[in-house]
């Protein structure tokens, strides 16, 4: 832009010279101009539109190396599409008076400065969303040639200057880096795109629920479950943050363990910002009750009632059954008839409801008396 303003001042001089043609047979003036490669417009206001005009170029052939987009006056606007390489040439405009044939010549020595190379991209930046969300900086990823600076735009051509080429929201944006020579202001022929992308983090997995069971024999295996959003998979960890990956989130010993489920997007590898805790617990089975002892009595009259007894561990109670496994609950483990019965005592933890892995048998027996009583003789 600076170079074209200089040229406009030169054209004003040209116009002034053209306006004085009547006093001289020929008037000449040579001006100088530094420009950047690209299309350069040259505009004049002729002294008399009836005069004849001729443009000439000292380097190359008009129409071959140079293209005159508007070739005749009085349109007064001539555009030269010039080479992109560095070159110096002389552009001349000759005006010949249609009546007197007096000539006014204005020449412009034009130096075309070289274009800088477009900036070198340090690479597009793609990251997964963090919490709090990060800020990506495109300025760190483009380098202009020596003697040039980078100017960022929001379009490959035209567009607006971007003073802060950053991204701090989910999604993608493309910025375009242009090289600008510090001394000449010449800009690169093309711009270098740099893409900043923040891929979204998936939602945390949905827990399949904590699992709490009582110890079995043989002991069972509990497995944590969770469901990741569509397009994601679940990765298990040993901690809410950091930790190590767990390939098999299971529990097969008495006690409790917490695993943490993280969603990972299959395509981007982005992880959920939080993890979902799943707790697996195997509560211990209590010891079987301690028997109060088998009871064997002879029948009395009236017949007695025998009651089975057993002592459960602290924190547990005794539940009686009619069988060693399975069977029915017996609310009153008693015997009040001649014969034998076995009851089975099971421990049940008051808080957890867990039961002993085995039952303790207690046998109650009432024996019948002999058919005849002994006879005493004196």
Residue 371: per-residue pLDDT:
75
Distance CA 251, CA 269 (A): 28
- Please count the other Cβ atoms lying within 10 Å of the Cβ belonging to residue 111: 14
Cβ–Cβ under 8 Å, residues 249 and 316: no
- According to the model, what pLDDT value does residue 6 have? 29
User: Which residues in the chain land under pLDDT 50?
Assistant: 1-28, 63-64, 67, 69-71, 74-76
Q: What is the pLDDT of residue 14?
A: 39
pLDDT value at residue 8: 32
Structure tokens at 259: 């695993």
Which pLDDT value is given to residue 307?
Answer: 98
Taking the C-alpha atoms of residue 189 and residue 47, their distance in angstroms, rounded to an integer, is 37
The pLDDT score that the predictor gives to residue 39 is 61
pLDDT digits (tens, 9 = 90+) for 139-150: 888 999 999 999
Name which of 299, 354, 347 is nearest 321 in CA terms: 347
In angstroms, rounded to a whole number, what is the distance separating the alpha carbons of residues 305 and 258?
52
| pLDDT score at 4 | 27
Six-digit token pair at 377?
A: 């003789």
Gap between the Cα atoms of 59 and 56, Å rounded: 9
pLDDT at 79: 58
| CA distances for 193 relative to 152, 164, 261, 374, angstroms | 9, 15, 38, 120
Helix, strand, coil share of the chain (percent; to 5): 5, 45, 50
- pLDDT of the residue at 302: 94
For 284-370, strand residue ranges (E) read 290-291, 295-298, 306-307, 310-311, 316-321, 329-330, 334-335, 339-349, 360-367
Q: What are the E-state strand segments in 47-143?
A: 52-57, 67-68, 77-81, 87-96, 103-112, 120-121, 125-128, 136-137, 142-143
Q: Whole-model pTM above 0.85? A: no
pLDDT of residue 114: 82
Contact 81, 69 (CB under 8 A): yes
Residue count of the chain, please give it: 378
Which contiguous run of DSSP H or E holds residue 198? strand 192-199
């Amino acid at each position: 832009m600076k170079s074209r303003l200089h040229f406009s001042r030169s054209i004003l001089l040209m116009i002034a010279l053209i306006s004085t043609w009547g006093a001289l047979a020929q008037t000449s003036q040579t001006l100088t101009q530094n420009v950047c490669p690209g299309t350069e417009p040259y505009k004049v206001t002729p002294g008399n539109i009836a005069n004849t005009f001729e443009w000439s170029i000292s380097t190359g052939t008009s129409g071959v190396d140079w293209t005159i987009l508007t070739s005749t006056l009085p349109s007064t606007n001539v555009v030269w599409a010039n080479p992109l390489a560095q070159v110096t040439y002389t552009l001349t405009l000759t005006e010949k008076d249609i009546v007197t044939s007096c000539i006014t010549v204005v020449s412009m020595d034009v130096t075309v400065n070289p274009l800088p190379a477009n900036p070198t991209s340090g690479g597009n930046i793609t990251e997964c969303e963090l919490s709090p969300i990060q800020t990506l900086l495109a300025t760190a990823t483009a380098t202009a040639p020596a003697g040039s600076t980078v100017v960022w735009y929001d379009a490959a051509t035209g567009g607006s200057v971007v003073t802060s080429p950053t991204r701090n929201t989910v999604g993608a944006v493309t910025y375009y880096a242009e090289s600008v020579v510090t001394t000449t202001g010449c800009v690169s022929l093309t711009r270098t795109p740099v893409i900043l992308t923040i891929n979204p983090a998936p939602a945390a997995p949905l827990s399949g629920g904590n699992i709490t069971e009582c110890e079995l024999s043989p002991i069972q295996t509990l497995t944590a479950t969770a469901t990741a959003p569509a397009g994601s998979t679940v990765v298990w960890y040993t901690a809410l943050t950091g930790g190590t990956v767990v390939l098999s989130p299971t529990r097969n010993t008495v006690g409790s363990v917490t695993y943490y489920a993280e969603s990972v997007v299959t395509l981007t590898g982005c992880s959920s910002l939080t993890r979902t805790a799943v707790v697996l617990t195997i509560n211990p089975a209590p010891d079987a009750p301690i028997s109060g002892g088998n009871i064997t009595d002879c029948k009395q009259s009236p017949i007695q009632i025998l009651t089975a007894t057993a002592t459960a561990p602290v924190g547990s109670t005794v539940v009686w059954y009619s069988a060693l496994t399975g069977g029915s609950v017996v609310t009153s483990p008693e015997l009040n008839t001649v014969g034998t019965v076995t009851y089975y005592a099971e421990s049940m933890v008051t808080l957890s409801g867990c039961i002993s892995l085995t039952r303790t048998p207690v046998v109650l027996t009432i024996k019948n008396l002999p058919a005849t009583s002994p006879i005493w003789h004196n």
